[in-house]
Amino acid sequence: MSLLVTPITDLAARVGLSRASALLVTAMTHSSYAAEHDVESNERLEFLGDAVVDLAVAELIVRDYPELNEGGASLVRSRVVNESSLADAARELGLGHVVRVGRGVHKENGLERPSLLADAFEALVAAIFLERGYECARDFVGDALGRIVEGAIKEPGSVDPKTRLRQWSEARGTGAPTYDVTAEGPSHDVNFRAGVYVGGELLARGQGRSKKAAEADAARRAWELRDA
């Protein structure tokens, strides 16, 4: 526990929570650690935080971008409230240095999993919501995801990563990408890994809590590396 004191108190100060916040400790407790130490995991907070993040982003879009119709607003929200974006926000906050995980997850470098980081971000939002109220949680979400919202607004018609990669691959004459997906971990903490191939060549690997999320993460990484 001593190794956690400095990072978690620093995080508490940065997000406006009490240094002794039990909610924050729970928010930073992965199910693998909870199972090993018989404490509460962040799963219930993650469930609540998912709803708070979704509402906060929707409110931000409606309030700050009145020119968007319902369809455009929905598309922007889907580009913001997803595993990849939330994991990026978690990395910027340094949550990977604070989340408590079990020995197996730590050994497998599980703290790098986008799904784990995204869940921790949602749990953190829930802790802020319960301790300080919705307005504080909304403002925190706005600060953490505002840049991503702005980027999504600039390209509201952008397609999803898999479609974008497929269009690029077909334009090169190499056909549609193919995906190879495997599942790892126990039933309560399954993580999917996907490899994406174009013209029979492995371009990138991704991971996620679901097969769909893993394929999308692989497609996004492949798109970023396509000209490398």
**CA gap 32, 104 in Å, rounded:** 8
Q: Identify the active-site residue in 46, 50, 83, 88.
A: 50
147 shares its domain with 187: no
Instruction: Check: pTM over 0.85? Answer yes or no.
Output: no
Q: Say whether pLDDT at 197 is over 80.
A: yes
pLDDT at 157: 52
CATH number, position 179: 3.30.160.20
Q: What is the Cβ-side half-sphere exposure of residue 227, based on CA atoms within 13 angstroms?
A: 2
26 shares its domain with 99: yes
Q: Say whether pLDDT at 4 is over 80.
A: no
Q: Is 155 a catalytic residue?
A: no
Domain count, the chain: 2
108 shares its domain with 23: yes
Q: Say whether pLDDT at 71 is over 80.
A: no
149 shares its domain with 172: no
Q: Say whether pLDDT at 143 is over 50.
A: yes
Q: Identify the active-site residue in 46, 119, 122, 217.
A: 122
Q: Is 139 a catalytic residue?
A: no
pLDDT at 227: 63
Its domain, for residue 15, covers 2-154
135 shares its domain with 174: no
Stretch 157-169: mean pLDDT: 74
Stretch 55-70: mean pLDDT: 90
168 vs 117: which has the higher pLDDT: 117
Q: Which of 112, 135, 154 is the last residue of a domain?
A: 154
Q: What is the Cβ-side half-sphere exposure of residue 198, based on CA atoms within 13 angstroms?
A: 23
